[in-house]
Amino acid sequence: METNTENTVETLPQCRRKTLPRLLLAGVLLYLLVAYVFLPIGWRRHEKRHPALADAPQLTHTASGIPGDPLNVALVGTENEVHLAMHAAKWYPADPITLKSAMRIAVGVVFDRPYDDAPVSSLYLWGRKEDLAFEQPVGNDPRRRHHVRFWHSEQVDEQGKPLWIGAAIPQIAFHLAHNPVV
């Protein structure tokens, strides 16, 4: 019995040879269609801004004009509704910056005691400091907290409720800042 060693490598049937390139081509075309047509359409729809935010600024400033936190949140509602919503989400109104609050936060930092409504430094938008400020503690360390500042905008929604533009950021370190009284 004689064996042919030249034909030991099996070849794909003719139909498989034509199907594989077609599948690869279809996969590439599908990828291009999704990546360059459908996803951009979806992204534009997702990123569509509320008309009241069309001309909104995007950055706060310190009293001396240094860029501050980015504006990254907006709420629509009355001041009371904003307070109720923030309270329901376990955010505390920040205390004003006074000698007493400064001493309290210093004691909290030194003795590792929480200060749920510690003050936040003032940032400015439209030439004025924030109208509302809230914070949410992270553990018992007063140096670690989240805070958000809101400014009342002149914009209103269809029901006449005001737009509040805010800057929400996590704070993972504490530093003393000079905030001149304005």
pLDDT at residue 141 in the model: 66
Residue with tokens 């990546």: 35
Answer whether 134's CB lies under 8 Å from 128's CB: no
Answer whether 158's CB lies under 8 Å from 64's CB: no
**Helix/strand/coil for 35:** helix
Q: Which amino acid is at 8?
A: T
pLDDT at residue 55 in the model: 75
- Within 34-167, residue ranges assigned H as helices are 39-46, 79-88, 99-111
Rounded mean pLDDT, 116-131: 89
Which of 44-48, 96-100, 173-177 is predicted with the least confidence, judged by mean pLDDT? 173-177
- pLDDT band at residue 181 under the 50/70/90 scheme: very low
Sheet holding 59-61, edge to edge: 67-70, 59-61, 124-125, 128-129
Answer whether 35's CB lies under 8 Å from 124's CB: no
Beta-sheet pairing, 67-70 with 162-171: unpaired
Rounded mean pLDDT, 20-42: 88
What global pTM score does this model have? Answer: 0.64
What are the tokens at 71? 């504006």
pLDDT digits (tens, 9 = 90+) for 62-117: 999 999 999 999 999 999 999 999 999 999 999 888 899 888 878 877 887 777 77
